[in-house]
Structure 1
Amino acid sequence: MHTNERITYLVQSYLNKTISKDEYKELSDWIVQSDFHEVEALFEASIPKQDDWYDGSVNFAEASVLKEIQHKIAQSEKRMFPYKRWTYYSAAAVLIFTLMLFRPWQKIGLISPDQVSDKIASIEDKGDDIDILTDAGGHLSFADGEVVTVSKQQKEFIDHEGVRYKFLADGGVRLESVDAAYSHQAKHTFFTNRGDRANIILADGTTVWLSSSSSLVYPTTFADDKRVVEVHGEAFFDVSHNPGKPFVVKSNNTEIEVLGTRFNMRAYPEVDFSETTLVSGSVRVKSKNNQRRLVPGQQAVVNKKGEVAVATANLQDVLSWQSDVYRFSNLTIEEILIELGRWYAIEGIDNHSALQERYTGVLSKGKQLSGILKQLETISAHRFIIKERRIVIMN
């Protein structure tokens, strides 16, 4: 028997994206057994407190969701309840009823895969195809050498060096301090492999989403004056506001200082520059000999000399890694394939083409690379061969 307090707690945990796997199952089971109007009323009372969830940027196919609900009801032995027209304020109830949990990156307003053509033909090639790598999520690497794969955890949480790591229903992990007296400042790493995406909520409430082949280095506990982390690869930050303790992100030759904001940082070790793109709030980008303050919509590029260049960013392109499509602007074919190599098991690229045309567009991340190569063939003068997990580019 669930009390109103317990259900309210579960709903708020779901909306705040802090719900654990066991709690998510508990809430889902309650919804399946409850009256539609009871569920709707509860979510309508809760969602107005979560303004950023429904700011007009979240899109989903409401008709298909309702169809799925009707199908579930038809298969159920429980009595059927009439339902009224679902509003956006009751959308969360619809989604959770169908056992779908919002990924954190879906609230940014990225292009939907449904907007991309699915007319993908098989590339005419005798070689092996290349599959997209499995999105297995994140891994925790502790300073003592222990490595934990989040997706394989059967427990709701583990405790390590004064910190509780709570495994969430969306595949992420949340850190909670359980020993305030613990003072050891060890550095740990949360990382993704090629093809992975994952999210972590730090003990201060800051959420970090990692892209493919990326890592976040964080301390067991933050110092008294600053919250300092390191990024290698690409990450999106939603920083918890704390005027008395700035949040600092270090990577390559760049340092980002914020109080509370949302921004994307891209700094792969094999690239000699970093990119910081501000979505909301304010950040100060610092290099060894320069610094610039950004406003929302701007991007700062810092090269290896420490020079900082600021320009207006295309946010959809920058944040497309969080969706199932790949957006690109003004890139050569080789540059496009290099980026795709972060998601597919590509061993290398052999470019035998002298063409240097640049392209702008959107590609759907299909299961196999041959579909994308076929799409690229239709918009360019290039031809491709897959040979021993390498991509050969020809005229």
Structure 2
Amino acid sequence: MHIDEFKDLLEKYLDDRITPHERQRLTIALEDPDYMQLLDETIYGELVARAYEGEPDEGIRQLIQQRLDQEVTPVHTIRPRRYRWAVAAAILALVAGTYAWLQRPAKHPAAQQLIANAMPGTHKAILTLSDGSKVTLDSTGNQVIRQGATAIHQQGGQLKYDAQSTATSIQYNTLATPRGGQFRITLPDGTNVWLNAASTLRYPTAFTGPERLVEINGEAYFEVAGNASHPFKVKIKDAEVQVLGTSFNVNAYADEPIIQTTLLEGSIKFSANNNHVLLKPGQQAVLATNKEFHINEVDPNDAIAWKNGYFLFKNEGIESVMRTIARWYDVDVSYEGDVKKQRLGGTVSRYENLEDLLKTIELTKSLKFKIEGRRVTIMP
């Protein structure tokens, strides 16, 4: 296909005057990496300039490039041809939405008014010892906390207990992350736990009984140290996870309507309401508010996107998306108008500031944001 024809088809697509035959030709062209590159150049050159009647500013260029990078990243996966088709369609939808947004910049001023102090979360937590005393932890800390015969080492965003001791009495500690915080802990048996924002982990300072039992409220990723004679158990509200040695993620926030347990490696038994199921890697147990649960086949890496530094939303309702964002940026959210039916999908770094994140959402959906103090109001 000649370059001029490609540009003409793209223009027709954006103006909603493309025929089914022309749409098919455009989709086929976008399976060619050369045309994907041309699409990028066309956005920067003709389409954005057309909306602004001149050269677009660098901020808009960076914003569009960021969205393109997020969409194009997965191309090198197992089914490249099929995935390229999906990516091409996603980018076309993105370009159309971006162009429509650029045509009416005056109607979207809210993202420019965001408060500067709504920054992404950091390593911070509160450690509550068995006697009730509290220790504040942050990313700059470097200390040894003494609790009887137990030594607890903090270095930056990680807490580590001494190796399993011979203590006979059981003492419980609690590690809690606030909104806008996350932390990692190595338990006395060598199990590693990553706590997401607004989460709490209760655990003994030594595992002395026949089982290793901890309690979680919120979200955490576990890499459990193997010990077949002492099974590891995680209590989650009305459910329980039992493992022998494995990696899994638990999402059990009090303000979420479901509990999700996703297995990455090994094997776990998920139990709730006298029902038990064995999970295999790539399976997710979902427990609903009516106490029923079912098993989904998933990409397990999606469940730990937060641990790896990014948000991942897949056709997710705006209320669910904003609950996740609110925990990480420590903001409150309210809604005006008929916006709760909106659904979002995409991947965004957890380390962007809130202003850039909400600008990205404004580009992909018909939403506006207003900030008053630490409250984000979402409007159509």
Q: TM-score, normalised by structure 2?
A: 0.67
User: Aligned residue for 1:228?
Assistant: 213
SS in structure 2 at match of 1:373: helix
Indicate how the Cα distance of structure 1 residues 210 and 126 shifts in structure 2: closer, same or farther if over 3 A, else same. Answer: closer
* Residue 363 in structure 1 maps to residue 356 in structure 2: no
- Cα RMSD (Å) of the superposition? 2.7
d(CA) in 2 for partners of 1:176 and 1:291?
34
User: Is the 1:289–1:306 Cα contact (8 Å) retained in structure 2?
Assistant: no
Tell me the equivalent position of 1:261: 246
Decide which of 138, 151, 154 is 1:167's aligned counterpart.
154
CA–CA distance in 2 between the matches of 1:178 and 1:317?
A: 32
State the alpha-carbon separation in 1 of the partners of residues 220 and 193 from structure 2: 7
* CA deviations over 1:292-324 (Å, ceiling 9, x no partner): 110001100112343221001233431111133
Write the distance in 2 (CA, Å) between the matches of 1:312 and 1:372.
Answer: 29
Identify the residue that residue 238 of structure 1 maps to in structure 2. 223
Q: Which amino acid aligns with 1:165?
A: I
Say if 1:129 and 1:386, in contact at 8 Å, map to a contact too. Answer: no
Deviation at 1:179, TM superposition (A): 5.5
Residue by residue over 1:52-72, the C-alpha shift from the partner in whole angstroms, topping out at 9 and shown as x without a partner, is: xxxxxxxxxxxxxxxxxxxxx
- The residue that corresponds to 2:136 in the other structure is 149
Q: Is 1:271 aligned with 2:281?
A: no
Larger Rg: 2
Query: In structure 2, do the counterparts of structure 1 residues 158 and 330 end up closer, same or farther at CA, with 3 Å as the change threshold?
Result: same
Instruction: Determine whether 1:286 maps to 2:241.
Output: no
> Quick check: 2:121–2:351 contact (8 Å CA) kept in 1?
no
Equivalent position SS for 2:157: coil
Letter of the 1:162 partner, please give it. A
- Cα distance in 2 for partners of 1:114, 1:323 equals 20
- The gaps in structure 2 that reach 5 residues or longer are 1-65, 72-97, 99-107
SS in 2 for 1:334: helix
How far apart are residue 350 of structure 1 and its match?
2.2
In 2, Cα distance between the equivalents of 1:129 and 1:349?
19
> Does 2:148 correspond to 1:176?
no
Alignment map for 1:104-143 (pairs within 5 Å): 115-116=69-70, 123-126=110-113, 128-129=115-116, 131-143=118-130
Q: 2:199 aligns with which of 199, 214, 236?
A: 214
Any idea what SS the aligned residue of 1:260 has? coil
Structure 2 vs 1, CA of residues 272 and 252 (structure 1 numbering), >3 Å: closer, same or farther?
Answer: farther
Specify the code of the residue in structure 2 equivalent to 1:266.
N
1:308 to 283, 287, 293: 293
Whichever residue aligns with residue 221 of structure 1, its letter is: A
Measure, in 2, the Cα distance between the counterparts of 1:334 and 1:153. Answer: 35
Number of matched residues? 279
Report the 3-state secondary structure (helix = DSSP H, G, I; strand = E; otherwise coil) of the residue aligned with 2:355: helix
Say which of 322, 336, 358 aligns to 2:321. 336
2:330 equivalent in structure 1: 345
1:298 equivalent to 2:283? Answer: yes
Do the aligned partners of residues 115 and 196 (structure 1) sit closer, same or farther apart at CA in structure 2, a change above 3 Å counting? Answer: farther
Partner of 1:82: none
What corresponds to 1:31 in structure 2?
none
| 1:115, distance to aligned residue in structure 2 (A) | 5.0
CA 1:294 to 1:252, structure 2 compared with 1: closer, same or farther past 3 Å? same
Question: Cα distance 1:140–1:331, how it changes in 2: closer, same or farther (>3 A)?
Answer: same
Higher share in helix: 2
Deviating more after overlay: 376-385 vs 202-211: 376-385
Please state how far the C-alpha of 1:122 moved relative to its aligned partner. 8.3
CA contact (8 A) 2:339 2:367 kept: no
Q: Name the counterpart of 1:373.
A: 358
Aligned partner of residue 234 in structure 2, secondary structure: strand
Distance across 1 between alignment mates of 2:220 and 2:286? 15
Instruction: Check 1:348–1:147 CA distance in 2 against 1; reply closer, same or farther (3 A cut).
Output: same
* 1:148-178 deviation per Cα after TM superposition (whole angstroms, max 9, x unaligned): 22336443x232133211223x531211158
1:291 to partner: Cα distance: 1.3
Offset at residue 133 of structure 1 (A): 4.3
Question: Per-residue deviation at 1:390?
Answer: 1.7
Cα deviation, residue 189, structure 1: 0.4
1:145, distance to aligned residue in structure 2 (A):
1.3
- Tell me if structure 1 keeps the 8 A contact 2:248–2:262: yes
Change (3 A) 1:285 1:203: same
1:222 alignment partner, SS class? coil
Partners of 1:388 and 1:173 lie apart in 2 by 33
CA positional deviation for 1:359: 2.3
Unaligned runs of 5+ in 1: 1-111
Q: Could you say if the C-alpha distance between residues 288 and 162 of structure 1 is closer, same or farther in structure 2, counting changes exceeding 3 Å? A: farther
d(CA) in 2 for partners of 1:153, 1:246: 33
Matched position secondary structure for 1:340: helix
